[in-house]
Chains A and B, each alone.
Chain A
């Protein structure tokens, strides 16, 4: 009798914790949704920021190496290359034949035009094929620009290829 009265008087009351249990379900659900969305957004933000940094670096490298759009000698090209002060992202740039297709994952010196040295500019010391940082998982930006390369009395149309990447 007493128990029945107690139950009747405290209808729906399961105790201080038990009473709040149903409200914990939407609460936990909201927290999970919020933190997973926040995590995804931060990841997207970071990824896109890396892409922009690569894009900006490629534009700067391309503009610097193109100069007036006319490369008259290897010395001039090397001078433009030395003026670049890009530490990150890694990049490799150079002049190659307009008709030549390239594979950025195996971009070695044979691709580039050669004078006394190759028309190549990079902030990596080793050949790209030996660079562990350039892999299929790297975030790569590749841009081409047509440019004139003067060789003796011939003004040859070639392409300046700029590859920049980050892990």
Chain B
């Protein structure tokens, strides 16, 4: 009779235990649904970054450009409407012009802007997703970097009290190693790449001729992509790269021109 009196309490205890078990299962389900596919998603994005970098580098190296500055096509389409007056007849591979440019003074300055414009054009479809840098390294002792371009977004935020109300991003283009510092080295580049976290990287070997030298210089061109990062331009790893805004470089060079 006494046992019968506690029957209700036993049933509710069982139900509470059941609830406890169910809550554990529910927690597992929530954990599973939030984590499921995360690795695959990250891999997919990383694969895209890597595929894009490889395709972009190949496209930059093998694309044609007009030595006379005329357009290669009309209205972005191929067609019979392309006449010698409106389209260039002096067509060459961009990389051939870059090699030619390097050959005279071991620097890339004459076709630098064409190379930069071509890089920017190829990277345009992912300009909102990635920041990137492209550099040419020549295997000398110490290494020489005749071309080093970086395009990155700088974020500015507007705050109202403790809350950030608006964030704007401005794309900025830089030429790095501008002063050709002897202290500039691969370690500084590597540290920067580790800091920003590369999402895609492609490299291709280059053989650069030099006038007066019978042998080609071995080198490489690298393209590295990363997700936009909100470090500021005072960041020491960025400062180490000795980057100068592209428009400032063009202004300086225009002022220095005879």
Give residues in A with beta carbon < 8 Å to B. Answer: 9-14, 19-20, 22-27, 29-31, 33-34, 37-38, 40-41, 44-45, 48-49, 51-52, 55, 59, 62-63, 66, 69-70, 97-100, 113-115, 143-148, 151, 153-157, 159
Contacts and interface: CB of A to CB of B under 8 A. Distances in A.
A44 B26 contact: no
Interface of B: 1, 4-5, 7-9, 11-12, 14-16, 18-19, 22-23, 25-26, 29-30, 32-33, 36-37, 40-41, 44, 47-48, 51-52, 54-56, 58-60, 62-64, 72-73, 76-78, 91, 93, 118, 121-122, 124-126
Contacts of A31: 22
Contacts, number: 145
Given A20-B8, A98-B121, A156-B64, A41 B33 contact: yes
A22 B26 contact: no
A19 B76 contact: no
A154 B125 contact: no
**Shortest Cβ-Cβ A-B pairs, 6 listed:** A97-B76, A144-B125, A23-B11, A30-B22, A23-B15, A146-B59
Contact of A11 (B5, B14, B18, B52): B5
A145 B51 contact: yes
A41 B28 CA distance: 10
Contacts of B63: 148, 155-157
A45 B36 contact: yes
Contact of A148 (B15, B18, B36, B58): B58
